[in-house]
Each structure stands twice: as C-alpha cells, then as structure tokens.
Structure 1
C-alpha cells in the first residue's frame, strides 16, 4: 500500500475556545491529505473523468494538538469495493510521535459527467497499491 504524508504547523486559526485544535480542523486536514494524495497519484486526464465524495467519516480523537505543535498527517487506501474506497488517515504529533487522531473514511467514486457512482477502475486501484 502506498502511504502519503505531510506535516502541518498548528496555527492560531486551528484552535477552538479550549486552545486546542478544533475537531472541524482535523476533518479538514483529513480531507486535504486525501485530496493531495489523489492529485499526487493521478494525472489530470484521470481526474477529469472521476470525482470522489465522502460517504462516511469514522474519527477517533485520542489526544489534542496545541498552538506551536507540528503534526504529521499520513494516509493510505485500505481497500476498494465497487465504487467505494476505504481510506485511513492517521494524525500524529510530529515531535512526540503520539497518535492524535485515527480516521477511516468511505469515499464514493462518481463519474465526473453524470455524478453517478462508478466502480473504481483496476488501473486506479493499482496506483495506490
């Protein structure tokens, strides 16, 4: 399985009233890393034919990140079935290695013209193995 990772600094805008990263920001990072992985692995021609939408997020929050932390966000595709792709995202504190968030998201592949579900092509599956 191909893993894609990126680090992000925690900024003031990421915080909530408790001065730790807001849960919504974690969801944004999950979606951002997923999109970046897709773009890094595919060509514009592939992306012009198909789009992904979220069917389900399952997120477990374990620890908090605070201002000044740097986090590492990693993702990989766990598997596919029909039009569905199961993507795992792990967010860690880059300095301590502590896991902050584990997420498992079901993404549904749609035809870019009809917006109807489309089976994940084997060629696309192979890009992430």
Structure 2
C-alpha cells in the first residue's frame, strides 16, 4: 500500500527538474520501468547539488546514496509530456540526510514519490563527514 503523498517542506527550497520519458524507459507493461525511477531519484538529487554549489565545493565533497524507497501512484505512459520532479532535503543526521522527490505528470498529478538517504563524503578519502550547517542553509527557503 502506498504511503501518504509527500509534501515539500515550507522551510526548504523545492528544486524542480523536467523529466523526459524516452522509448527505452518503457517496459513490457507499457509504462516507465521502476529502474528508471531509481535513476531519476539520483539524477534529480545530483542536479540540485550541482545547481547550488560551486566547482570547488563539488570537488571537495561528494554524496553516496545508501537507500532508495519509491511509492508508485499512477503509471507514466510512453507518450507522457510535461513530467516534473520536485525535490527537497530533510534534516541532517550527522553525515546523512534524506532527500524527497515527487514525480508528477503534465497535469500535476502525483505519479510516484521517493525518499533517498544520502551520505556526505570527502571526495578524496570517501570517508563520511558531518553535514556542515552552512551547506544546509543553501537548501533552505529564503
């Protein structure tokens, strides 16, 4: 049974990424395959990070996904247009935080939602590092 729909937090920036449904995304059941959704969760989180932080910061830090959870509400068909992903972050817990993603069709209807748990790591050593407060501020709504 699917969970309640996720709603963006009022205190967090909601970052929006357009998604394109490609022919290779469609499975034997005639809709976007679940593996594509996992890729979208990762791509949307990465796009948000890349859009908000400079090259030097991205060279120093990296993110490792340790968990993905997806709920499906309605299928995205092959001809889906205007698909959007909306993402925001939760509260940091040491080196970890949850990232939330809603995927909506061209009519704004919720098709799926996901939660990914990410760990901040030093890009050279790959060791986990506590998320700095200054980093979280970038994701807050102004």
SS at match of 1:114: coil
Measured against aligned partners, the alpha-carbon deviations of 1:33-68 in whole angstroms (never above 9, x if no partner) come to 100000001011111111100111111111100111
Structure-1 residue corresponding to 2:20:
9
RMSD across aligned positions (CA):
0.9
Q: Which runs of 5+ in 2 are unaligned?
A: 1-11
Q: Deviations over 1:74-117 (max 9, x none)?
A: 1001221100011000001122x221111111100111111110
User: CA shift at 1:9, angstroms?
Assistant: 2.8
Hey, which bits of structure 1, 4+ residues long, moved more than 2 A? none
Q: Does 1:61 align with 2:72?
A: yes
Counterpart in 1 of 2:121?
110
Write 1 or 2 for the structure with the bigger share of strand. 1
Instruction: Work out the CA distance in 2 between the residues paired with 1:124 and 1:29.
Output: 23
Match of 1:46 in 2: 57
Structure 2 residue aligned with 1:89: 101
User: For 1:51 and 1:62, how far apart are their aligned partners in 2?
Assistant: 31
- What are the residue-to-residue correspondences of 1:16-35 with 2, within 5 Å? 16-35=27-46
| CA–CA distance in structure 2, aligned partners of residues 21 and 112 of structure 1 | 33
Q: Which residue of 1 aligns with 2:7?
A: none
- Are 1:9 and 1:68, in contact at CA under 8 Å, matched by a contact in 2? no
TM-score normalized with structure 2 length: 0.87
The whole-number CA distance in structure 2 between the counterparts of 1:56 and 1:27 is 10
Q: Secondary structure at the match of 2:51?
A: helix
Tell me the TM-score normalized by structure 1.
0.95
Name whichever of 119-128 and 8-17 sits farther off.
8-17
Structure 1 unaligned regions, length at least 5? none
